[in-house]
Amino acid sequence: MSKPRIAEWTELRGLAYLAVVLQHCIGEYIYRSDIQQPDSVMLAMLYHLTRFGTPTFVFLSAALLFYNGNKPIGYPRYIGRRFRDIYVPFLCWTVVYWICTQNWSTAQWGNIYFYKGMLEEMIIPVSGYHLWFVVMIFQFYILFPLFAKAAGRVQAFLRRYSTKRRKQLVLAVMLIAAAAYALLLQWSYYDMSAWSTRLPSFWQTLLDYRTYNFVMYFFYFMLGAVCAYMTDTWRGLAQQTLPWNVFVFIGLFMLMGHTMLIQSGDTINLNISTYLKPSTFVLIVSQLLLSYGLLLHLQKDKRSEPFRRMLNWIGRYSFGGYLAHALVLSFISYFTRPLSLGDHHFTATLITFIVVASVSLGISWLFAHLPGGNWIVGSKGRQRLNWRPFRFQFPSSKRASKSTQELG
């Protein structure tokens, strides 16, 4: 039997999509030479509200994978689905972004380096600056059978304990993992740049492109697994910590905003609050729990149903919207960059955000309803919500007879 759909996951995906689009719209306007300080400060503060976006996609990807893991399916079939629904759209949009950023002269099309550069973009995307996420998340999909097998052993180990003891053990493991992840980010933000200068070229390249490596986001993947196996416990945690988490978030928000303003000087530098920074990690976890708790709270209020339906619809078409939004933003920027916006950069950012988010979702919806549109924007939103559960197994493995059970 298929498991019930977790409504707040789709809504959370919608929020994450909006956060990513807003983040990129802020990046488009905050570095313009004619921006004035009040707008620059406001955009810098607003930027910290978007930090949870991309890590939340990692969290939700893991939650869906582990939650739906209780029916046998061969690895070739599994990876074929992932390749069709995720990597093929990535390849299509990589070509689009590469072509749009190149010289359209006829000589360019006959140049072998034009196609060499296109192939390089499919490994390390630069023209589509947001497509790095697909390269990173696909690594989790490729290795997921190993993660699922490890999770199965953890489940078998925990079954010997009481429910209360299981929760305590999982909490202890997650706290240790959080500390290890924070240490990894400490090295990444403060030390790895210096390390790369003393290492061979291969390792230097790995460090330089560490944002593309799934290891740098493993904790959010672990959180998603915990949420999938202990959904009720996770919900309780998000609701119980909601009042306290509000104060934690406000404190971190003010601290990181102040740090960015102090360290940036005259020109705001958004990279100060990169994902791979320990303080940003704490902020993201706080935002993730806070957003989850608020969505659960809205489920109790019938007046919020229109808003939740909107988030649900956005979440259904968020992948295609994510792929398309940078192109829409570039098109709008072609007309806005020559303009002198003066003290209206903040307003222009918000208007651009609304237009980009809406048009990108419209593109995703359109392709999702066209024949063969899944090759452009992935599987249709409605199909994505109706995945059937499955358990992964390697070709030589025996078919599992028991379904996955919750840890808590």
Decide which of 69 and 185 is more confident: 185
Q: Could you give the 3-state DSSP secondary structure of residue 185?
A: helix
- Give the whole-angstrom CA distance, residue 385 versus residue 141: 18
Provide the pLDDT confidence category of residue 210 given band limits of 50, 70 and 90: confident
**Contact between 189 and 289 (Cβ < 8 Å):** no
Nearest-angstrom CA–CA distance, 361 and 314: 7
- Count the neighbouring beta carbons within 10 Å of the beta carbon of residue 391: 20
Whole-model pTM?
A: 0.89
Segment 189-207 mean pLDDT:
76
| Residue 69 DSSP code | -
Task: Encode pLDDT of 118-163 as tens digits.
Answer: 888 888 898 899 999 999 999 999 999 999 999 989 989 998 989 8
Report whether 18 contacts 314 (CB < 8 A). Answer: yes
- Please tell me whether residue 339 adopts helix, strand or coil conformation: coil
Q: Is the pLDDT of residue 45 over 50?
A: yes
**Among 246, 247, 255, which residue's Cα sits nearest to residue 279?**
255
* Residue 351 pLDDT greater than 60, yes or no: yes
Spatial distance between the Cα atoms of 66 and 150, rounded to a whole number of angstroms: 11
How many C-beta atoms lie closer than 10 Å to residue 266's C-beta? Answer: 6
Using the structure block, give the residue that is written with the tokens 């028991």: 402
Question: Each residue of 362-389: pLDDT tens digit?
Answer: 999 999 999 989 899 987 544 443 333 3
| Contact predicate 298/101, CB 8 Å | no
Q: Among candidates 386, 380, 388, which has minimal Cα distance to 317?
A: 380
Average pLDDT over residues 44-72: 90
Residue type at position 160:
R
pLDDT 10s digits, 233-291: 999 999 999 999 999 999 999 999 999 999 987 789 999 999 999 999 999 999 999 99
pLDDT at 357 over 50: yes
Percent of the chain with pLDDT over 70: 89
Alpha-carbon gap, residue 35 to 44, rounded angstroms: 12
Task: Indicate the range of 56-60, 317-321, 378-382 predicted with least confidence.
Answer: 378-382
User: In this structure, are residues 227 and 63 in contact, taking their beta carbons and an 8 Å threshold?
Assistant: yes
Other C-beta atoms closer than 10 Å to the C-beta of 189 total 18
Q: What is the pLDDT of residue 296?
A: 95
State the chain's mean pLDDT as an integer. Answer: 87
Write out pLDDT tens, residues 276-311.
999 999 999 999 999 999 999 999 888 999 999 999
First to last CA, the chain: 20
Is the pLDDT higher at 200 or at 4?
Answer: 4
CA separation for the pair 102, 90 (Å, rounded):
18
- Per the model's pLDDT, the better-predicted residue between 216 and 195 turns out to be 216
Tell me how long the chain is.
408
